[in-house]
C-alpha cells in the first residue's frame, strides 16, 4: 500500500531508538524525510546514518525536548533544513520516581508530567505554524496502556500523565480542525526490546514468563515495528477520517501486577 508520504517531512522526538527509531524507519521506507532528536549525541548520529541508507534526508538534532529552548531549536532547524513540516510524532516519555501514590514526591509528579505531557504541548505549539501550511498535516501522540487501564504494574504518576495526554489529544484535535491538522493518540502495550522489559526478562526470567503467560493472550510482548506501522498509517491520507481518536495497539494485553507489587 502506497501511503503517499514521499518527500514529506516527519519530526519524531526521541527518534534514535525503540518505538521512535522504528517509526523513523517506517517513514523512511515510505520515502518521507525526517527530523529526529535525542539527548544522546552518539545514538542520534548512529540513527541518522542508518536512516540515510534508506534513501531519505535526515536532520538529526541533539536535543532535550523537556528544555524549551532545546525543543525550539529542534523544530526550527528541521523547518529550515526542509522548508516544511508535515507530521509530528510525540514519542518521548517515561516514568520517574516512586511506584505508589504514597511513596511518590511532588517532584516525581512534576517531572513525570513534564516528560509525558508538558513537552508535548510545547512541541505542538512550535510545529502548528508549519504543519498548518501542509496539505493534510497530522500529529500522533504516543501514550500508553497505562493511560487508560489503571494497573499496579506501573507508576501512578506515569499513568496519570498518559491519561492526560489521551484527553489532550481530542481537545487539540478539535482546536486544529480549522488548520487541516489531524491529531490522534497511539497507546502501546508492553513492548519487547526496551530496556525495562529486557532487564526484567534477564533478571527475573520466571516472573517474566509468568507475566507473559497470564497477561498476554497472544503469548508475547509487542514489537516496536508494530507500533510504528500504526503511527505512520495515521499520518497518511489513508487515515484521513480518523481524528481525535485514541487507538490502543496492545495485543489484548491484560496487565497484572507481579507478586511483589501487590498489596494483597
Residue 2 to residue 41: CA distance in whole angstroms: 33
Q: What b/e string do you get for 36-59 counting C-beta neighbours within 10 Å, with b at 16 or more?
A: bbbbeeebbebbbeebeebebebb
DSSP assignment string, 166-227: HHHHHHHHHHHGGGTEEEEEEEE--BTTSHHHHHHHHH-HHHHHHHHHHH-TTSS-B-HHHH
| Among the listed residues 66, 10, 63, the one whose alpha carbon sits nearest the alpha carbon of residue 41 | 63
Do residues 94 and 116 make contact, with C-beta atoms less than 8 angstroms apart? Answer: yes
Do residues 74 and 128 make contact, with C-beta atoms less than 8 angstroms apart? Answer: no
Choosing from 130, 158, 211, 233, which is the catalytic residue? 158
For this structure, is 130 an active site residue? no
Pull the grid cell for residue 86: 508535515
Residue 166 to residue 184: CA distance in whole angstroms: 8
Cβ-proximal residues to 167 (8 Å cutoff; 6+ apart), any chain: none
Q: What is the signed CA dihedral for 180, 10, 190, 122, rounded to 10 degrees?
A: -70
Return the active site residues: 158
Amino acid at each position: 500500500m502506497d501511503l503517499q508520504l514521499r518527500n514529506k517531512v516527519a519530526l519524531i522526538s526521541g527518534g534514535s531508538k525503540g518505538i521512535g527509531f522504528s517509526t523513523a524507519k517506517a517513514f523512511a521506507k515510505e520515502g518521507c524525510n525526517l527530523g529526529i532528536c535525542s539527548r544522546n549525541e552518539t545514538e542520534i548520529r548512529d540513527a541518522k546514518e542508518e536512516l540515510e541508507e534508506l534513501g531519505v534526508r535526515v536532520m538529526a538534532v541533539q536535543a532535550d525536548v523537556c528544555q524549551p529552548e532545546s525543543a525550539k531549536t529542534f523544530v526550527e532547524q528541521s523547518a529550515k533544513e526542509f522548508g516544511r513540516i508535515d507530521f509530528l510524532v510525540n514519542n518521548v516519555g517515561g516514568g520517574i520516581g516512586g511506584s505508589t501514590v504514597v511513596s511518590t514526591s511532588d517532584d516525581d509528579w512534576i517531572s513525570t508530567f513534564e516528560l509525558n505531557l508538558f513537552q508535548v504541548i510545547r512541541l505542538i505549539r512550535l510545529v502548528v505554524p508549519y504543519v498548518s501550511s501542509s496539505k493534510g498535516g497530522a500529529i500522533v501522540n504516543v501514550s500508553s496502556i497505562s493511560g487508560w487501564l489503571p494497573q499496579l504494574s506501573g507508576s501512578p504518576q506515569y499513568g496519570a500523565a498518559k491519561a492526560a495526554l489521551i484527553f489532550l489529544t481530542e481537545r487539540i484535535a478539535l482546536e486544529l480542525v480549522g488548520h487541516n491538522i489531524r491529531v490522534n493518540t497511539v497507546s502501546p502495550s508492553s513492548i519487547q526490546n526496551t530496556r525495562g522489559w529486557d532487564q526484567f526478562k534477564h533478571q527475573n526470567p520466571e516472573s517474566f514468563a509468568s507475566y507473559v503467560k497470564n497477561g498476554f493472550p497472544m503469548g508475547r510482548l509487542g514489537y516496536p515495528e508494530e507500533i510504528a506501522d500504526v503511527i505512520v498509517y495515521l499520518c497518511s491520507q489513508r487515515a484521513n477520517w480518523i481524528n481525535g481518536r485514541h487507538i490502543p495497539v496492545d495485543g489484548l494485553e491484560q496487565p497484572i501486577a507481579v507478586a511483589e507489587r501487590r498489596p494483597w
